[in-house]
């Protein structure tokens, strides 16, 4: 819903997994707040790195989420237009959000041993944050000649709760995510999209015998319009 050219409301009204308000402070600077989409790819608010949109509905066996179907989180963000011309557009995102919680099952978890690990099903939502350390992220994306797009993204978060972080001898455990994505439009009706992401998840070495676990994801998509 766009009541004025400067103000816009967006939401998933059925589940409220995503809702945000966007306001243009200046012709180049936009501020976003609410449960905002995480700008980690050209697809918003969906994430493609875990497969086709909403594929958790079709998980088989012990498959788990790589990232949430709709990656959105409570917080604030800024989007700044670096350039906006006919043949070149470039924008920069920066955001601060609550981040992920622990509660997931670690892939290196021993039998009967609880290893702190983030829950990638979704973010904090209405249950509140679990620590005082916010997740921060940034993204740069540009489109060249209306045919080629390139984006680079980064995200850093602490997922363990305050009680764990304040335990003597323990250090806060976090997540570092880096990604790159590209879009190629060789014609007005054909689009090729691809993305790569790498993730480092800190682990409690005392109970897992590993200091971190690496995760990675890719996607390639060909789109063709007819008619």
pLDDT at residue 227 in the model? 80
pLDDT at residue 15 in the model? 80
Rounded Cα distance, 131 and 158, in Å: 8
Strand partners, 223: 191
pLDDT at residue 80 in the model? 98
Rounded Cα distance, 159 and 204, in Å: 12
Rounded Cα distance, 154 and 75, in Å: 16
pLDDT at residue 125 in the model? 53
For 58, the 3-state DSSP assignment is helix
pLDDT at residue 164 in the model? 87
Splitting the chain (227 residues) into consecutive groups of 10 residues, what average pLDDT does each group show?
A: 95 88 97 95 80 69 82 95 96 96 81 80 70 94 96 96 87 95 95 95 87 91 92
Q: Which residues of 2-30 are buried (b: 16+ CB within 10 A; e: fewer)?
A: eeeeeebebeeeeeebbbbebebeeeeeb
Q: What pTM does this model have?
A: 0.91
Sorted by sequence, the CB contacts under 8 Å of residue 89 that are 6+ apart come out as 81, 83, 142, 143
Long-range contacts of 172-176 (CB under 8 A, 24+ apart): 172/131, 172/133, 173/102, 173/116, 173/201, 173/202, 173/203, 173/204, 174/202, 175/99, 175/100, 175/118, 175/199, 175/200, 175/201, 175/202, 176/200
* Radius of gyration over every alpha carbon of the chain, rounded to an integer in angstroms: 19
């Amino acid at each position: 819903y766009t009541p004025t050219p400067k103000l816009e409301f967006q939401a998933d009204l059925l589940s409220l997994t995503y809702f945000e308000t966007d306001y243009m402070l200046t012709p180049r600077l936009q501020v976003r707040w609410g449960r905002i989409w995480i700008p980690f790819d050209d697809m918003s608010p969906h994430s493609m790195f875990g497969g086709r949109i909403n594929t958790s509905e079709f998980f088989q066996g012990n498959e788990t989420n790589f990232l949430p179907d709709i990656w959105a989180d409570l917080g604030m963000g800024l989007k700044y237009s670096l350039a906006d011309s006919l043949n070149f557009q470039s924008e920069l995102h920066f955001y601060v959000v609550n981040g992920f919680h622990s509660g997931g099952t670690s892939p290196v978890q021993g039998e009967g041993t609880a290893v702190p690990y983030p829950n990638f099903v979704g973010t904090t939502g209405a249950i509140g944050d679990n620590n005082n350390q916010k997740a921060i992220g940034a993204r740069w994306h540009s489109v060249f000649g209306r045919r080629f797009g390139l984006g680079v993204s980064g995200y850093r978060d602490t997922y363990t709760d305050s009680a764990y972080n304040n335990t003597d001898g323990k250090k806060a455990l976090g997540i570092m995510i880096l990604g790159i994505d590209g879009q190629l439009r060789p014609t007005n009706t054909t689009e090729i999209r691809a993305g790569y992401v790498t993730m480092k998840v800190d682990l409690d070495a005392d109970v897992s015998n590993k200091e971190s676990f690496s995760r990675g994801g890719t996607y390639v998509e060909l789109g063709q319009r007819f008619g």
